[in-house]
Chains A and B, each alone.
Chain A
């Protein structure tokens, strides 16, 4: 961050703004930018999903508000904002109101620990992979809380399904993450990203030595996000809308926002784990290739890194939406069986394979220390 800090201070000095102001704002500003960026990302994601689903199912998707419907989600969000918040009569009012907030906070927080580029990583703890796993699992508890507090049977069933589902799919994820951690010898996302660097570009990525883990993790992420074909907690044709049946207005918007924020975060995490994070797939950054000026190139590289990361995440999100348009929903019993009987053994096998690979390639000392 030092480089950026100096740039920022220089910029402020030009306008005679005191250094203290710069010292304070430099650490607050990124979070503000991030919060705004997240809103934009979520609104864009919702629009993209609706557009893509429309095209995949022979429709046009939103096309009325704004050019090609780009303002549709904005209009929807505005509508949700001005709607009344209805609390069911016999609901547990405190928990009912608490749940949307509890579901939203972890999803926002988790965005701060992700390295978007080599300089944009706001909270960089040495074991932020663990922190990530905890924060991402947290919204599910709030979903159950909301489902239970709604005093609605559909919501309760949806919440129960969500908990059962996440419990069974968290475990394979953890094993897969462990195998990646073993490969990278690091529990830090920046460390994991850097461990995937190679001159050949994308051939250094962990999705090649750990292809099994990549597939398992992709499936588990679908289940964690309650996405099709694992969308049982909010199965429209069975549970109407699952846990958020009773929510309306802004509270519903928070659930909705969280859902897409988590989709974005999970896709980013998957790209960090297996697709080289913010690394360029060509081994060298295009900015360095095409920009002669060193200073400009250095700044462009940061943006290029973020671009690569978001591009990779977008590809994953596209596949997730594509799957939604294709597959029917799993049966609830199969869902659990699939996790415990297939994914869990495979993920353990994957871990063993990775440890042996690591041992042979001479990194065992690193792991043990």
Chain B
């Protein structure tokens, strides 16, 4: 990917400042930004359930300039993994998988993190039904 292609995807905008919406090829964009703009740290990945789709916000950080860049992409149930770029993405993606049920393609180690192994549903999704029967005491189901 080169700068022109990047501009095609994210349009003419400053890297610093507001959130940049990426339509597709997020992995390539992040790789480009990481390699060319010294954004060496991924502070966090935030997922927000917007109702019909889920927004992922990648917060990249440049230690030299002490500047953040926010890249956002809207996905349905699948997203590109960036574990090959940032080791810490493994932790973030796993958490998002646990809470939102997004499959990250390329991340092999996705598993239930906070929730029990056999938990159904993803708690932070807006369509999650809170009154799960397993939350009751002394039930007979074989939850973990």
A–B touch (CB < 8 A): the answer is: no
- Enumerate chain A interface residues (CB-CB to B < 8 A): none
- Enumerate chain B interface residues (CB-CB to A < 8 A): none
